[in-house]
A = this chain, B = another copy of it.
Amino acid sequence: MRVGVFGASGYVGGELLRLLLRHPKVEVKVATSNTYAGEFIHRVHPNLRGVTNLKFVVSDLKAVVNNCDLLFMATPHGVSSSLVPQILETGIKVIDASADFRLKNPSDYERWYGWKHKSTELLEKAVYGLPEIHREEIRKAQLVAVPGCMAAAGILALAPIIKWGSVEKDRIVADFKVGSSGAGGKPSISTHHSEHYSVVRAYKPVGHRHTAEIEQELSALSGEKVTIAMSAHAVNMVRGILATCHVFVKEPVSIVDLWRLYREFYAGEPFIRFVRDRKGVFRFPDPKVVVGSNYCDIGFEIDDNVNRVVVLSAIDNLMKGVAGTAVQDMNLMCNWDEKEGLHDIGLHPV
């Protein structure tokens, strides 16, 4: 199958290229970047040196559409909502890594993103591309919106316990720790090495946009309004997200109960691993362990002192956080093995 990546010079675009260039079922026909058009891809993504001789081309929608059967959009938020309608008309499948089609309620775009959505009729048609929650819809979709990286980590951590239900749904705290690649490839003072090294920066203690997605998905699962008290911190690593979710329970729950809840919810999932050991250093999920892989590691603990369950999830923000899930979505949309092209396991140590 012929695929293209629109906006391929960013970190998400680069990670998509890394996965797609080795995917046995697809051929990368086009990678667009207006900034780097004409340059070899390895000038921007040095890991791809010797792996491909592809060059970036300008973002010419017509040329892209003629050369691809499926298109990945890795453009800044707000771009794809004006491009996708015309792309879809040509029959091409679209997997959008931006936020433009994640939210169902148009007013949420005004509230959380500050702009009015231009293609609201597509919001209903788009499928929220988290396979563990929407697998069957993804299989049939023409337009899939890849979840936000923190949203993916948060939803996967919380879905089983929210589905169970006996928790205080308006007292859930989700405290995120994120690597610098989550801020993208564009230099700024906040991501300048001298300013970001050793940092624990609460760059978004309240009001993070992914709150909207998490609340949307968990409320749908719950049947009731779920609110999330979300805080995001930048830490000194490149890849990875740890979500620490603090959940107050309304009735006593045991570790055995939690194991059962989580195992049942995620039965058969190829990319969910449970990490909860009684001893050793690697007892709980840690993003360090999943770097480069599509795994979401999940663990939990009970706090008897305060009727709290702590659920932890760890992902590579560029893999399960976006590009890995995007390829998983493609595999589903094309009826291929869901794990195709996603066999990398993490490195130890790294």
Pairwise interchain contact B345-A18, C-beta atoms closer than 8 A: yes
Q: Which residues of B contact A201 (CB under 8 A)?
A: 281, 284, 286, 288
Contact A242 B237 (CB under 8 A): no
Q: How far is the CB of A149 from chain B (nearest CB, A)?
A: 14
Size bracket, chain A contacts = 35 or more
Does A289 sit within 8 A of B, measured CB to CB? yes
With a cutoff of 8 Å between Cβ atoms, the chain B residues found around residue A85 in the complex are none
Chain B residue, CB-CB nearest to A194: B349
User: What is the chain B residue whose CB lies nearest that of A202?
Assistant: B284
Task: Kindly provide the distance from the CB of A208 to the nearest chain B CB, expressed in whole angstroms.
Answer: 10
Most chain B CB inside 10 Å of its own CB: which residue of A45, A50, A239, A349:
A349
Minimum CB–CB distance from A128 to chain B (whole Å) comes to 20
Binds B, one of A65-73, A99-107, A135-143, A172-180: A172-180
Query: Which of A159-167, A257-265, A303-311, A331-339 lies on the face that meets chain B?
Result: A303-311
Interface string of A4-22 (1 = CB under 8 A from B): 0000000100110010001
Of B188, B280, B347, the contact of A291 (CB 8 Å cutoff): B347
A252 touches B (CB below 8 Å) = no
Stretch from A25-33, A75-83, A228-236 that touches the partner: A228-236
Interface contact B349-A244, CB-CB below 8 Å: no
Which residue of chain B has its CB nearest to the CB of A281? B190
Question: Inside 8 A of A295's CB, which chain B residues have their CB?
Answer: 50
A349 to chain B, nearest CB (A): 4
Known A-B contacts A193-B193, A235-B235, A238-B198; A47 and B312 likewise in contact (beta carbons under 8 Å): no
Q: Fill in one digit per residue for A270-299: 1 if any B CB lies within 8 Å of its CB, else 0.
A: 000101010011101111110111010101
A62 at the interface (CB under 8 A from B): no
Asked if residues B200 and A240 are in contact (CB atoms below 8 Å), the reply is yes
CA gap between A201 and B235 in the complex, in Å: 12
**Which of B192, B346, B347 is within 8 Å of A193, CB to CB?**
B192
A226 to chain B: closest CB distance in Å?
11
A176-214 near B? 1/0 per residue, CB < 8 Å: 010111010101111111111111111101110001000
CB distance from A119 to the nearest CB of B (A): 26
A125 at the interface (CB under 8 A from B): no
Question: A58 to nearest B CB, angstroms?
Answer: 19
Tell me if A126 is interfacial: C-beta within 8 Å of chain B.
no
- With contacts A288-B200, A291-B347 taken as known, whether A248 is within 8 angstroms of B171 at the C-beta atoms is yes
The contact of A231 among B189, B196, B244, by CB within 8 Å, is B244
Known: A47-B348, A194-B238. 6 other contacts (CB 8 A): A46-B286, A170-B306, A198-B288, A200-B235, A201-B286, A206-B301
Query: What are 16 inter-chain pairs, A to B, with CB distance below 8 A?
Result: A14-B348, A43-B282, A49-B282, A49-B289, A49-B297, A175-B231, A179-B198, A191-B193, A195-B349, A197-B237, A201-B288, A205-B310, A206-B305, A229-B306, A231-B244, A236-B237
